[in-house]
Amino acid sequence: MAKMSWKVKFIIYIILSVPAFSGFPVNLVRVEILSGITYGWVGYWIAVNGMLLLVAGPGFLANALALAVLITMPVVFTGGVISYAIHVSGIGFPSGPAAFGSHYVSLCITMLTVIPLGLSLVAVVPFHQFEHRLLQGKSGVTRIQKCALMFLRVFNHIIYAVIPNIIETIQEERQYRRWATGMSKGGGRGLGSLGIPTLRHKFSALIREMVQLGVEGICASIQFVPLWAVEISQLPDKPDGKGQKKGKGHRSSGP
C-alpha cells in the first residue's frame, strides 16, 4: 500500500472505530458461533486486524495484539473467577457459569478488537512533532503550552519506552521459563524440578506478575517527571499580548 500521511490513517481508524461505538452494523448479525461470540463481531475483528495489517504493518499489529492479550487475559479470567466465587457462595448467579460465561467470552472478543484499534488511533498521531514545534517556538511558551509539553513528554515516554520495555521483559521471562522447563525435563536443576505447579499456583503466579508489571509500568512512567518539570519550567514565558499593546501605546504617546 502506498505511503499515507498520518491524517489519512487517522481518518481510516476513526471510520473503522464507528461500529465499536455505535454497534452498527456489527449487532445486526446476532447469530452465535459460540455462546457470546457472534458472526458480526468475528467479522468486525477480522476487518479491524486486516486493515491494521495493511495500514500500520505486521510489526505494529503483532505488538498491538500482544498488548491487547496482556490486558484482556487478567480482566476476563479475574472477572470469571470472581463471578464463579459469587455463584459458589450462593450470593448470585444461581444457574452457574451459564449465567455469566457468555458475557466474559463476549468481553474477550470485544477487547481484542477495540484495544488494537485504540492503540492505532493513539500511535498514528505524531505527538513528538507537536512537542518539537512547541520547543522550537521563538516567541516563548505559555502556561497552557507548558502543561501540554508535560503531557506529551509523559505520553511519548509511555508509548515508545515503557510499553516496549514491558513487552520485551515478558518475552525474556517466557524464554527463560522455556529454558528452565527444558532443563527440568533433561534432568537438570531447572525450576520445574521443584514440582509440577497446580492450577492455583499458576493463577497466583499470573496475578503476581500482573501486579509487578503494573507497578513497574507506573514507576517507569513517572520516574522522569521531576526532571521534565524543572526543564519545562525553565523555558522562556511567552509575552502577554495585552502587555505588548500597552507598551506600544505608551511609547507612541511620547515625544
| pLDDT per residue as tens digits for the range 3-12 | 788 889 999 9
Phi, psi of 237 (to 5 degrees): -75, 145
- Mean pLDDT over the full length of the chain: 78
pTM of the model: 0.63
The answer to whether 45 touches 68, Cβ cutoff 8 Å, is no
Residues 6+ apart with CB under 8 A from 154: 221, 222, 225, 228
Percentage with pLDDT > 90 across the chain: 15
The answer to whether 48 touches 116, Cβ cutoff 8 Å, is yes
* Predicted confidence (pLDDT) at residue 64 exceeds the cutoff of 50: yes
How would you write the chain as a 3-class SS string? CCCCCHHHHHHHHHHHHHHHHHCCCHHHCCCEEECCEEHHHHHHHHHHHHHHHHHCCHHHHHHHHHHHHHHHHHHHHHHHHHHHHHHHHCCCCCCCHHHHHHHHHHHHHHHHHHHHHHHHHHHHCCHHHHHHHHHHCCCCECHHHHHHHHHHHHHHHHHHHHHHHHHHHHHHHHHHHHHHHHHHHCCCCCHHHHCCCCHHHHHHHHHHHHHHHHHHHHHHHHCCHHHHHHHHHCCCECCCHHHHHHHHHHHHCCC
Only one residue has cell 502577554, namely 240
More confident: 210 or 179 = 210
pLDDT at residue number 197: 59
pLDDT at residue number 114: 92
More confident: 174 or 58 = 58
- Write the Ramachandran bin of 187: left for phi over 0, alpha for psi from -120 to 50, otherwise beta: left
What distances in angstroms separate CA 4 from CA 11, 123, 124, one per listed residue? 11, 14, 11
For the chain, what are the domain ranges?
Answer: 6-125, 130-238
pLDDT at residue number 174: 67
C-alpha triplet 189, 194, 198: angle, nearest 5°:
140
| pLDDT per residue as tens digits for the range 105-160 | 888 999 999 999 988 988 888 877 777 777 776 777 888 888 888 888 888 788 77
